[in-house]
Structure 1
Amino acid sequence: MATSPAPFSEIGKQVKDLLTKDYNFDQKFTFSVPSSSGMGLTATGVKRDHIFIGDISTQYKSGNTTVDVKFDSYSNVSTKVTVNDILASTKAALSFNIPDHKSGKLDVHYLRNHATIDSSIGLNPTPLLEVAATLGNKDLSFGGEFWFDTTSSSFTKYSAAIGLNKADFSAALILMDKGKTLKASYIHTLNTLNGTAVAAEMTHRFSSYENSFTIGSSHVIDPYTSLKTRFSDNGKVAMLCQREWRPKSLITFSAEYDSKATDAAPKVGLALALKP
């Protein structure tokens, strides 16, 4: 709904995407085959050091139901069945892994004009219950989440956040790690024509009085090429260049240099995504 607040997990997401999305320091290949009949196929391979891992994912859509199945190189099978509008403004998803018989999980997403609720519960005798909710609208939202472990009858995680979204900027304040960490993030679009934006994220840990920060920027060089940069207080500097060399097919080059580890070589990654 246009007036509904974003889910709790998306508070601060714009900053996170600018600072981390598409950065890859391995060799990655993705091949996607969409289908008008409702069946799609995606193959992914990653070479990390001297190890190659991969998976094949299929997605089938029919009416309000979507079925996702993924097979990986370790012979694991992940399945997720999503049903939209199972009830008014409600979406439900059932997921499980094979051969892990304790991996079953039920997710329910509820959306109303001024509220969004996400809940998840494990389908086993001692499940982990996860609940997240936000109130407000698309511009201003307040939210919280908690994880409750029924085995120990204790809260393993709880957080609270506030998010502000406008046409040219977005800000978020998140109290996390059971109130032990405060994270503030901000992103500002400087030029909507060329997509130039800057973002910053700062984290304060109350227990150790430690502060950390990361700043980044993004810029659209031309309709097919974008550039991103990132700098952290730990001395790591990274850049990313992405080129759409054909419609929906991307090649991405990433590099990171650690100024405090002068003996280590810079990390370099290349990702190729093909979509006919």
Structure 2
Amino acid sequence: MPVAFADIGKAAKGFLGGDKPTGSFQFDPKLSVSSTTSSGVKIDISAVQKAEKVDATLKAAYSTKKYSVDVSVDPSNKVQATASVNEVAPGIKLTTSAVVLDPSTAKLTLDYSMPYLALKSTLGLTATPVVDVAASTGYQNVVLGGEASYDTAKSALTKYNFAVGYHAADFQIAALLADQLKTLKLSYYHNLTSTSSVGAEVTRKLADSSTAVALAYGRKLSNGALTKFKLEGSGVLSALYETKLATGEKVAGSLQLQATDLSKPVKYGFAVDLA
């Protein structure tokens, strides 16, 4: 099966932008609590302190092989509900979602996968919906795809992006032409060894020829802790240290500084995950 369009170059995006397997930079205090009830409902609560304000989110999810349902509450107190049904027909998954008490946000998503095609289509359930379509195909390690959005209210194509990638067992490279062909992104991720990885991303704005570069290096230490460093072309250097305590809690500390101007204040933060 080819990877979905959104997952082309996913390893590099997660490594540079932050994800659970490779660690995320967190420059504000954050507390996360995860638990599963006896009935199988998974509950995730997180709180992030920003200045004097604490933003809290809550998510409850329940899934079986056939169905899944989740409800989430964001910091603005919006309640979003999502329900999915797998294998409605061979290779087809249906998902519906909406913000509670706001019918204009209702959407229906169809995922279809077969040996040489992955298709995802989202339709807004309104009188003048926005239609999103993403498709990808591939052969062996090569994958390519595109996505587009059509706004029926404007009778206009409002988004179109294209991507091509090479996904091997230990490395990925990808090129994305985004923002209606105005931005080119090149990404690279490589597992050098079983304990060390590198990643890079180059973003080129074709209209004004501006370029942004980011490089990252991650390493798992002998005690199981994870370290990661990211250097951006602007001179911003970020560092992460993440470890799991003997009692099961995961703790992480991050700091960020302007390497080209050390007089600027250092940003730092930490995260605690009580699983």
* Alignment match, 2:104: 102
* Cα offset, 1:61, TM superposition: 2.3
* Alignment match, 2:48: 46
* Cα offset, 1:246, TM superposition: 4.1
Q: Spell out the pairing of 1:223-262 with structure 2 (5 A cutoff).
A: 224-246=224-246, 249-259=249-259
* Alignment match, 1:274: 274
The answer (yes or no) to whether the contact 1:25–1:270 under 8 Å persists in 2 is yes
Distance 1:217 1:123, change over 3 A: same
* Alignment match, 1:265: 265
Distance 1:181 1:63, change over 3 A: closer
* Alignment match, 1:19: 16
Q: Spell out the pairing of 1:38-117 with structure 2 (5 A cutoff).
A: 38-117=40-119
1: CA distance, partners of 2:247 / 2:190? 28
Distance 1:180 1:73, change over 3 A: closer
1: CA distance, partners of 2:247 / 2:156? 50
Deviation string for 1:166-191 (max 9, x for gaps)? 12211001111111111111112111
2: CA distance, partners of 1:34 / 1:231? 38
1: CA distance, partners of 2:76 / 2:190? 42
* Alignment match, 1:202: 202
Deviates more, 1:260-269 or 1:120-129: 260-269
**Other structure's SS at 2:208 match:** coil
Deviation string for 1:14-50 (max 9, x for gaps)? 1111112111111111101124532111111111111
Cα RMSD of the aligned pairs, angstroms, is 1.7
* Cα offset, 1:65, TM superposition: 1.1
1: CA distance, partners of 2:65 / 2:3? 25
The answer (yes or no) to whether the contact 1:240–1:252 under 8 Å persists in 2 is yes
Q: Spell out the pairing of 1:129-168 with structure 2 (5 A cutoff).
A: 129-137=131-139, 139-168=141-170
Instruction: Write the letter of the residue equivalent to 1:203.
Output: T
How many pairs does the alignment contain? Answer: 270
* Alignment match, 2:21: none
Please give the TM-score of this superposition, normalised by the length of structure 1: 0.92
1: CA distance, partners of 2:50 / 2:105? 27
Deviation string for 1:205-252 (max 9, x for gaps)? 211111111000110012520100000111110011110114763111
* Cα offset, 1:71, TM superposition: 2.4
**Other structure's SS at 2:221 match:** strand
Instruction: Write the letter of the residue equivalent to 1:218.
Output: G
The answer (yes or no) to whether the contact 1:113–1:137 under 8 Å persists in 2 is no
Deviation string for 1:80-128 (max 9, x for gaps)? 0011111111111110112322111111111111110111111111111
Show structure 1 runs of 5+ residues with no match.
none
Instruction: Write the letter of the residue equivalent to 1:179.
Output: L
* Same amino acid, percent of matched pairs: 28
* Cα offset, 1:263, TM superposition: 5.1
Deviation string for 1:43-91 (max 9, x for gaps)? 1111111111112211122451111011244332110001111111111
Please give the TM-score of this superposition, normalised by the length of structure 2: 0.93
Show structure 2 runs of 5+ residues with no match.
19-23
